[in-house]
Amino acid sequence: MPAMLRTFHSVAAWLAALLVLVLALTGVVLAASPLIDRAQARVSGTSALSVAEVVGRIVEHYPSTEQIERTPSGSLIVYFSAAQNSVADRVDPITGQAIAPYQLSPVMVWIKSLHRSLLLDTPGRVVSATAALMMLLLSLSGAVLLLRRLGGWRRLLGPVQGPLRSRIHAELGRFAVLGLILSASTGLYMSATTLGLLPDNQQMDPLFPDSVSIGTPAPVGQLLALQDLPIGALRDLVFPYPGDPADVFSLRTRDGLGFVDQNSGELLSFRSFGPLQRVYEFIYMLHTGEGLWWLALILGLTTLTVPVMTYTGLAIWWRRRAALVTIADNSPAVQADTILLVGSEGNTTWAFAKTLFDALIEAGHRVHIDSMNALADSYPKAKQLFILTSTYGDGAAPSSAQQFLAKLARIPDERSIPVAVLGFGDRQFAQFGAYAIAVKDELDRKGWPALQPLTLVDRQSCQTFSRWGQELSNYLGSPFELAHQPVRLPTSSLQLLSRTLYGEAVDAPIVVLRFGLGKKPKLPSFSAGDLVGIYPPEQTSARFYSLASCSGDGEMEICVRQQDGGICSNYLHSLAVGDSIAAYIQVNAQFRPNSESRPSILIGAGTGIAPLVGFIRHNQRHQLMSLYWGGRHPDADYLFATELARYLADNRLSRLVTAFSRHADAPGYVQDRILTDGPELRRLVLQGGEFLICGGKAMSVGVQEALNTVLAPLGIDVNRLKSTGRYREDIY
């Protein structure tokens, strides 16, 4: 049964997506027709003409005219009989002569019918209306989610961060949401009127006049009623039946419907459109863009985003779903000695919480796990509380924690429990781990005892998580290991082509490794700044290294510093040419130069040079690039020294500032050079320069402090640069 339900659920979801897609794609094609019509119409210089003048000229060329129609874009179409058949031409309003034969394209007619009713008449109209309703609900809920994601109105136009698929989704959504809301709501209104759910848009036709004057029909160009009517107001004019003196012209203008006496030229029984009809006409124009070519263009472009957003939306949903964990052995809140509360938006924090949950159960605890929103008033048997929470938007609470602080405020202080907070976040955001910090501050303020200090986990680092676990085992007094096992991803086998060793003389061995791109499967394409995940033999968790090359270079280049006891770094240092590794690419799209017109300021230390040298190597357009880099000694670990000298000479690199901590002349760190290079850095920032930082955590803190000092005279700090996407880091 559950399997059947699941199949039904996914089939329904795909069907809904398919319907919205059909509406959107046919809508895009239909939006093109006002544009084409507008391009074919002759409108300029016609505004002063009256209907009488224009129609008079047309009948000179078309004596057997049956009807003249003016489209919302301003094209004049004349229907006439020729050899017993009714045909139509598009005509020039100034001369009355033919421009080209006019024919409704059967493809367009088919697409329109597909758009309105899925070619199925009334049942199709109902389905189509439902799809429009879904599109409206999706756009409205999407708009709210988008605002949350961006961190509120203030950041509406700010840079979008996060994984690639969700960035594309948000960028397109931001561009298209108003257009989509307009298309969907106006479409829904029109469907509702057609289906009779809203008052009928069709006003009653005027009554055929009881009597008409008898005499000789006046030439159509002299009919009184048409002389005062500007051509722009005409919708259509149907001619009387030839030779029938009792017949009349039927006239439809933008204001209403009536008849024109063919002898006296008088306007008879004219009936103005009522307010409902006017509303309908207005909404029709908003939906189709007919008569407003620029609106048609905007609607067409916004609707074009729907297929991509459908794909990225489903991919995001799938990711979130895949990240969900199932938990058995959850103890009731009233019985548990340990409470575990989780704040999450994308569900990835749940996987870490599950690892902690399992380890606590293993250690003999009765654990209750729930979302932070489910915080209870009291946990009678609880001895400890763990809070694991991510941060979302611009430093805000993730959705499963939004009610937490309000609920916490209602708990009397005497019910406090010793608590540890572990924050999950991303250092690329200005407000790194801000929500976890806010929760911790509030708990401190209320006097809840701390089990251990707040720890922040950057980009789901398993290493930080297991270190936190070790600290926890000291507190719990029992051996306790948090081995978070991410799922092993499919890898390619890459062969080592060459290796260069640096830094032995200064006790900091660094090896530059160059691998082939593998054959089966070949590595997907990558750019400098992306990451390669490498699995040491018999390990399930990969270690990441920044890439110095891009796939176009034909090899994958990384720099690896040998760490004491480091499993992966020692493994990589031990590789000989010809050996193979298991690796996969993790795109790191936010860490690369954004703009070719603005300067890039690259800052790094040690192996942090890897992505930076890659950016410089591919700076074929000679964008202004400055590199600040720190090592130990120029004779020992000056990585890429010869290459950098070459890039300076051929202008791929504009400025190189180095710092060597163990050099006899002016020893120092990269942050010291930043402090002494203030005027140049301020100049680059004023030119709109952006920073890309790569290296260890200590360096990143030092660099931020130095830059805050240097940029203070401009009233700018690193947080401000981060929030506008001009300060991006790759820190390990």
Ligand X SMILES: Cc1cc2nc3c(=O)[nH]c(=O)nc-3n(C[C@H](O)[C@H](O)[C@H](O)COP(=O)(O)O)c2cc1C
Residues that bind ligand X (CB under 6 A): 149, 162, 166, 344-349, 390-395, 398, 424-426, 429, 431-434, 460
80: nearest Cα among 68, 71, 72, 92? 68
CA atoms within 13 A on the CB side of 683: 6
- The residue among 46 and 349 lying less far from ligand X, judged by its C-beta, is 349
Pick 312 or 431: Cβ nearer ligand X: 431
Question: What distance in Å separates the CA atoms of residue 248 and residue 261, rounded to the nearest whole number?
Answer: 5
Whole-number minimum distance, CB 407 to ligand X, in Å?
19
**Is the Cβ of residue 113 or residue 399 nearer to ligand X in the bound state?**
399
CB of residue 193 vs ligand X: minimum separation in angstroms?
Answer: 39
Return the beta strands (E) in 130-247 as ranges.
Answer: 234-238
Instruction: Tell me the C-alpha distance between 404 and 343, whole Å.
Output: 9
> Shortest Cβ distance from residue 142 to ligand X (Å)?
14
Q: Before 521, cis peptide (omega within 30)?
A: yes
Residue placing its CB nearer to ligand X in the complex, 80 or 392 = 392
Q: Which two tokens stand for residue 486?
A: 């991410």
Nearer residue to ligand X within complex by CB, 90 or 149? 149
Burial of 389 (0-12, 13-18, 19+ CB in 10 A): buried
Q: How far is the CB of 446 from ligand X (least distance, A)?
A: 23
Q: Which is nearer to ligand X, 148 or 381 (CB)?
A: 148
Instruction: Give the nearer residue to ligand X in terms of CB position, either 193 or 347.
Output: 347
> Cα-atom radius of gyration of the chain, to the nearest Å?
35
* Distance in Å, CB of 399 to ligand X, minimum: 8
| Per-residue CA distances from 361 to 353, 358, 571 (Å) | 12, 5, 34
With respect to ligand X, which residue has the nearer C-beta, 322 or 483? 322
Least distance (Å) between residue 145 CB and ligand X: 10
Burial of 211 (0-12, 13-18, 19+ CB in 10 A): exposed
Cβ-based nearer residue to ligand X, 152 or 521: 152
E strand spans, 50-206: 65-70, 76-82, 85-91, 98-101
Closest contact distance (angstroms) between CB of 159 and ligand X is 11
Comparison of 62 and 435: residue with beta carbon closer to ligand X? 435
Say whether 249 sits in a helix, a strand or coil.
Answer: strand
Q: Decide if 280 contacts 202 (C-beta within 8 A).
A: no
Long-range CB contacts for residues 122-130, cutoff 8 Å, separation at least 24: 122/195, 125/191, 125/194, 125/195, 126/195, 127/19, 128/19, 128/23, 128/191, 129/187, 129/188, 129/191, 129/192, 129/195, 130/19
Instruction: Find the helix or strand (DSSP H, E) in which 586 lies.
Output: strand 580-586
CB 235 within 8 A of CB 254: yes
CB 530, min distance to ligand X, A: 18
Tell me how far, at minimum, the Cβ of 437 lies from ligand X, in Å.
9
Cα-based distances in Å from 259 to 77, 150, 207, 264, 548 = 20, 57, 9, 12, 79
Q: How far is the CB of 713 from ligand X (least distance, A)?
A: 28
- Whichever of 393 and 606 has its CB closer to ligand X, that residue is 393
Q: Which residue is nearest to ligand X (CB)?
A: 425
Measured from the CB of residue 366, what is the shortest distance to ligand X in angstroms? 25
Least distance (Å) between residue 152 CB and ligand X: 12
Q: Which H or E element spans position 659?
A: strand 655-660
How far is Cα of residue 179 from the mean position of the Cα atoms in its chain?
15
Sign, CA torsion 273/277/283/287 = negative
Task: Choose between 46 and 347: whose C-beta lies nearer to ligand X.
Answer: 347
Residue 350 or 691 with smaller CB distance to ligand X: 350
Task: Kindly tell me which of 150 and 610 has the beta carbon lying closer to ligand X.
Answer: 150
Residue 364 CB neighbours (<10 A): 8
> Distance (Å, rounded) from C-alpha 557 to C-alpha 545?
10
Q: How far is the CB of 349 from ligand X (least distance, A)?
A: 3
Helix axes 293-322, 275-288, angle to 10 degrees: 70
Yes or no: say if 625 and 615 are a contact pair by the CB < 8 Å rule.
yes
Residue 678 burial class via C-beta count within 10 angstroms: exposed 0-12, middle 13-18, buried 19 and up: middle
Shortest Å, Cβ 436 to ligand X: 8
Q: How far is the CB of 397 from ligand X (least distance, A)?
A: 10
Q: What residues contact residue 519 under an 8 Å CB cut-off, 6+ apart?
A: none
| Nearer CB in complex with ligand X: 246/701 | 701
Torsion angle, CA of 584/589/591/595, rounded to 10 degrees?
Answer: 140
CA distance 585 to 524: 7
Q: Supply the minimum distance, in Å, between the C-beta of residue 355 and ligand X.
A: 13
HSE-CB at 147 with a 13 A cutoff on CA atoms is: 9
Choice between 432 and 727, CB closer to ligand X:
432
Q: Are 516 and 577 in contact (CB under 8 A)?
A: no
Of 450, 343, 455, the closest CA to residue 398 belongs to 343
Say how many residues make up the chain.
732
